[in-house]
A and B are shown apart, each in its own frame.
Chain A
Amino acid sequence: MGAEFVQLSLTPLLIGVLAAIACALPGNFLILRRQALIGDAISHVVLPGIVVAFLVTGVTATWPMLLGAAGAAVVAVILIEAIKRLGRIEPGAAMGVAFTSLFAAGVLLLEQSDTSGVHLDVQHALYGNLESLIWFQAEGWHSLADPVALAALPPELVRMAVTAAAIALLTAFFWRPLKLSTFDEGFAGAVGIPTAAVSLGLVIAAAVAAVAAFDAVGSIIVIAMFICPPAAARLMTNRLEVQVLWSVAFAALSAILGYVLAGYGPLWLGADNAVSAAGMIATVSGLILALACLFAPHRARIGAPKGV
C-alpha cells in the first residue's frame, strides 16, 4: 500500500465510490416512486448529449460535454412526459420509445461526424475508463499534503466530489418534502409542497449525478448504482432514513470491491490483464442485491401486496 497504490489506484477508487454514492442517493427515491428506470433512460441519452456538444463546439472539453449530456437528460425527461401525456401511453413504453430513439440518434451522429482521433466512442460511453484516471504526480501518501501534486489531481475526481457533495446536501436539505411527496403526493400538495417541482428536481439531480459519473465510469455503473444499492437497502430495513444509509454503504462497498476484483482478481487467478472495473462494480452490486434478496431481514412483502 505505498506509492504505487496512491498513484494508480487511489483516485479511481475514490471516483468510483463518489460516483456510486451520488447515483445511489437519488436512486432511493426513484425506486420508491416506481421510476427506477428513469436512471436507465437518462444514462442512455447521455451519449447523444455529448455527441451534440462535440459537434457544436468542436472540442472534447469537459464543460460543454457535461452541459450537452445534462441537456439531453432534460430533453429525454420532457420527451417521456410528452409521450406519456399527449399519447396516453403507459410510462414504461413511453420511456422505451424516447431513450432508444435518442440513443439511436446519438450513434448515428457519432458515425456520421468525423470523430476519428478524438477520444469519443460508444464503448467509452458505455463503460467509461475508470482505470485511466490515475494521479500521475503522486509519489506516495505524502503527496496528499503536496500542493503541486494536488493541483494535478484528475479533474474527474474534483468534479465527482463536488457533485456527490452537492447531491448529499440537497438530499438532506429537501429531505422532508422529498419523503412526504414520495409517500403521499396528494397530501403533500395539500400541505403546500410543490410536488411537481420536487419530482422534476429529483430527476434533474439524478441526471446531474448520471452525467458527472458517466464520463468517469460509463453508463453501466450509473444504471446499476441507481438501482442495485437502494434496492438491496430497501430489503435491509423498514425506515427510509436507515435505508439511505445502507444504500450509501452498499454503493461504496460495490465500488471498492468491484475495483479491487477487476484490478487484482485476474492476477490472483493467474491471468495477467485486469478486466473492466465498471463492469465488475456493476457485477458486485448485483451480487450484493442477490444476497439481499435471499437473506435480508425485510425482503418479503408484509400486509397486502401492492395495488390492492
Chain B
Amino acid sequence: MFALFLDALLLQAGYNAALVALGAALLGMAAGAGGTFLFLRKRALVSDAVAHATLPGVGIAFILMVALGGDGRNLPGLLLGSAVSAGLGLLAVQWIAGRTRLAEDVAIGAVLSVFFGFGIVLLTIIQTMTRGYQAGLESFLLGSTAGMLFQDAVVIAVGGALAAAFVVVFRRPMTLVAFDPEFSASSGIDVRRMDLAMMGLVMAVTVIGLKIVGLILIVAMLIIPPVTARFWTERSERVILIAGLVGGLSGYLGAALSASAPNLPTGPIIVLVGFAFFLVSLLLAPGRGVLAAVIRRRQFQLRVHRRQGLLALAHGEAIFDPLTLAVLRREGLIRQDGVATEKGRAHAAKTLRDERRWALARRLYQDEAVAGRYDGLTPIETVLTRDEIAELDRRLGPPAPAI
C-alpha cells in the first residue's frame, strides 16, 4: 500500500489519478484561500448552505438533459445546474437574513435543509424515471473518483486551476475587503463587487469539488484550512497564504492516499487529512495553540497570586487565598505558619517600591503609553527606560524599611 501511495504521490498511478490529485490540490488551494475570506468575515457556514443548495440543481439539470434527449450524466451540464441552484440558495440566505427578523444562522439552516430535502425528492424521481441513466447521482453527496471519466478529470483539473488562478490574481483586494471593508471602500475598491466575487469563488469551489469531495463535505475544505492557518499567524495575508497551502496539501495528500487503497473514499480522506493539520495546529502552534496557552495561563495565575501576596505582606494584611499561600511558601517567601521570611520581606519591599514607582510614574507621565499599562503585573522596567526609573527613585527617596 505504501508503494501505491508513493506512486500516487508522484503522479505515477495512472492518468486519471494524477489529474484528480492535481485537481484536488489546486481545488484545495483555491478552497483554502477562498474560505479564508468567509472565515475572516465570520460567515464560514454560509458555504454550508451554498453546498447543500447544489443538489436540486444537479437533479433538475439531469432531468432537463434527459428530457432534451441528451446524456443526463454530462458533468459540465450537471455542474452548471448546481451552480444555478447554489446561487439561488445564496440569494435566499441573504434575502431571509436581510428582509426578515430572522438571523443569518437561521437562514443558513433553513436554506440548506430545504434545498437538500427538495434535492432528495428530485433524486427519488430520477431513480424511477428512465432506465439506464440512474447511476451515479448519489456520488455527488459524498464524492467519488472511482471510475471517473477522463474528460471529467480534465474538467476538475482545469476548474481547480482556474479557481487557484483567480485567487492569485485577486488576492490583494480580497484581503483588504475581508480584513477592513470600510478602509478598502475608501481606497477605491468596490466592496459589493468584491463580496460578490468572493461568493462566486466559493460557489465555483463548491461546484468543482462536488465530484471529488461531495456536497456534504466540500464545506470542510472551505472552513478547515483557514481555521488551521489562523493558529500560526496574526496577519491576514499570511492566513490566506497558509490556508491555501494547508488546503492544497490536504487535497493532494488526500487524493493520493485514497488512490493507494480500495475503500478509501476521496472526500472523507481529504477532509480527515485537513483535520489532522488542524488538530496539530490547535495543540502545538506557538502563541495561539492550546499547550502554549495552558502554560501561559498557569504562569500568569501564579504571577498574579505572587504579586498580590507580596503586596499583602508589604501592607501587613492577612492572606486567605490558599493558592497565594502555596505560591509564597514554595518560593520560601513565607514560613509554614504564614509569617514572612527574610527573603519574603525583601521581595515585599521591592514590590512595594515597584508600586510606588508606578504611582509616581503615573503622575509624571500622563499619557496612555505609561498610565494605560498600570495593570498590576507589568514590570515598570518594560515601560520606562533605566534613567527614567532612576529619576523616579531619586524623587521617591531611599527605600522604606519593610514592615
Q: Using CB atoms and an 8 Å cutoff, list the residues of chain A in contact with chain B.
A: 31, 34-37, 39-40, 44, 83, 86-90, 92-97, 100-101, 103-105, 107-108, 111-112, 122-123, 126-127, 220-221, 223-224, 226-228, 231, 234-235, 262, 266, 271-276, 278-283, 285-286, 289, 293, 298-301, 306
Given A107-B268, A122-B141, A279-B117: A39 in contact with B109 (beta carbons within 8 A): yes
Residues from 345 to 383 in B contacting A, C-beta threshold 8 Å: none
- Residues on A with C-beta less than 8 A from B288 are 87-88
Q: Mark out the residues of chain B between 206 and 247 whose CB falls within 8 Å of any chain A CB in the assembled complex.
A: 216-217, 219-220, 222-224, 226-227, 230-231
Q: A305 — nearest CB in chain B belongs to which residue?
A: B101
Asked whether B272 lies within 8 Å of A123 as measured between CB atoms, the reply is no
B334 on interface, CB distance cutoff 8 Å:
no
CB distance from A263 to the nearest CB of B (A): 12
The main secondary structure of chain A at its interface with chain B is helix
Max chain B C-beta neighbours (<10 A), residue from A86, A96, A221, A293: A96
Residues of A within 8 Å of B42, CB to CB, are: 90, 92-93
Interface stretch, picked from B77-85, B120-128, B186-194, is: B120-128
Contact of A34 among B105, B121, B223, B267 (CB under 8 A): B105
Docked CA distance A35–B104 (Å):
11
Q: Which B115-137 residues sit within 8 Å CB-CB of chain A?
A: 115-121, 123-125, 128
On whether A37 and B275 interact (CB within 8 A), knowing A282-B114, A286-B118, the answer reads: no
- Do B268 and A108 touch across chains, with their CB atoms under 8 A apart? yes
30 chain-A/chain-B pairs, Cβ below 8 angstroms: A36-B103, A36-B109, A39-B109, A86-B293, A87-B227, A90-B42, A93-B45, A93-B227, A96-B227, A97-B223, A97-B227, A100-B271, A101-B271, A104-B275, A107-B267, A123-B141, A220-B117, A227-B109, A228-B110, A228-B114, A234-B101, A262-B121, A279-B116, A282-B117, A283-B121, A285-B113, A285-B117, A286-B115, A298-B101, A299-B101
Min CB–CB distance A269 → chain B (angstroms): 10
Q: Does B65 contact A (CB under 8 A)?
A: no
Taking CB atoms, residues of chain B closer than 8 Å to A306 are 103
Select from chain A the residue with minimum beta-carbon distance to B103: A34
A231 and B106 contact, Cβ closer than 8 Å, known pairs A93-B39, A101-B271 = yes
B167: min CB distance to chain A, Å: 19
How many chain B residues touch A (CB < 8 A): the figure is 62
Q: How far is the CB of A31 from chain B (nearest CB, A)?
A: 5
Chain B 290-312, CB within 8 Å of chain A: the 1/0 string? Answer: 10010000000000000000000
Q: Is the CB of B114 within 8 A of A285?
A: yes
User: Could you say which of A100, A105, A228, A262 has the most chain B C-beta atoms within 10 Å of its C-beta?
Assistant: A100
Most A CB contacts (10 A, CB to CB) among B110, B116, B141, B224 go to B110
A86-B282, A105-B272, A107-B142 are known contacts. Are A36 and B105 too (CB-CB below 8 A)? yes
- Asked if B99 lies at the interface with its beta carbon under 8 angstroms from chain A, I say yes
In the bound complex, residues from chain B placing their C-beta under 8 Å from that of A293 are 95-96, 99-100, 102
Residues of A within 8 A of B61 (CB): none
Cβ of A282 and Cβ of B99 under 8 Å apart?
no
Among A37, A101, A266, residue most surrounded by chain B Cβ atoms (within 10 Å) = A101
Asked if A220 meets B227 with Cβ closer than 8 Å, knowing A92-B105, A111-B264, A276-B124, the reply is no
- Residues on A with C-beta less than 8 A from B282 are 83, 86-87
Q: Which residue of B lies closest to A265 (CB)?
A: B121
> Is A282 a contact partner of B223 (Cβ separation < 8 A)?
no
Residues of A within 8 A of B117 (CB): 220-221, 224, 278-283, 285-286
Q: Return chain B residues, CB-CB under 8 Å to A107.
A: 142, 217, 265, 267-268
A residues in contact with B274, CB < 8 Å: 101
Residues B114 and A44 in contact, CB atoms below 8 Å apart: no
Q: Are A286 and B105 in contact (CB under 8 A)?
A: no
Q: How far is the CA of A112 from the CA of B109 in the complex (A)?
A: 31
Contacts of A112 in B (CB 8 A): 263-264
Contact A220 B120 (CB under 8 A): yes
* Further 20 A-B residue pairs, CB within 8 A, beyond A37-B48, A220-B113, A299-B99: A31-B102, A36-B103, A36-B106, A36-B108, A40-B112, A89-B230, A97-B224, A101-B275, A107-B265, A111-B265, A111-B268, A220-B117, A223-B112, A224-B110, A235-B100, A271-B128, A279-B117, A283-B121, A286-B110, A293-B95
Tell whether B269 is near chain A: CB-to-CB under 8 Å. yes
Residues of B within 8 A of A272 (CB): 128
B278 CB–A CB distance under 8 Å: yes
Inter-chain CA distance A268–B199, complex, in Å, is: 40
Q: Is B335 at the interface (CB under 8 A from chain A)?
A: no
- Known contacts: A93-B39, A97-B275, A234-B101. The answer to whether A227 contacts B265 by CB under 8 A is no
Bound CA–CA A221/B118 (angstroms) = 11
Q: Verify A108–B272 contact, CB threshold 8 A.
A: yes
A89 to B100, CA, bound (A): 28
A254 to B311, CA, bound (A): 67
B43 within 8 Å of A by Cβ? yes
Within 8 Å of chain A (Cβ to Cβ): is B138? yes
**Residues of B close to A86: CB separation below 8 A:** 282, 290, 293
B283 to chain A, nearest CB (A): 9
In the complex, A285→B106 CA distance in Å? 14
- Are B121 and A101 in touch, CB under 8 angstroms? no
Report the bound CA distance from A271 to B293 in whole Å: 62
Q: Is the CB of A279 within 8 A of B118?
A: yes
In the A-B complex, the 3 residue pairs with the closest CB atoms: A282-B117, A286-B114, A279-B120
Kindly list chain B residues whose C-beta atoms are within 8 Å of the C-beta of A220.
113, 116-117, 120
B217/A224 in contact, CB under 8 A: no
By the criterion CB–CB under 8 Å, are A87 and B231 in contact? yes
B110 touches A92 (CB 8 A): no
Q: Could you say which residues of chain A place their CB within 8 Å of the CB of B263? A: 111-112
Least Cβ–Cβ distance between B48 and chain A, in angstroms: 7
| Chain B residue with the shortest CB-CB distance to A225 | B113
Complexed CA–CA distance, A108 and B213 (Å): 12
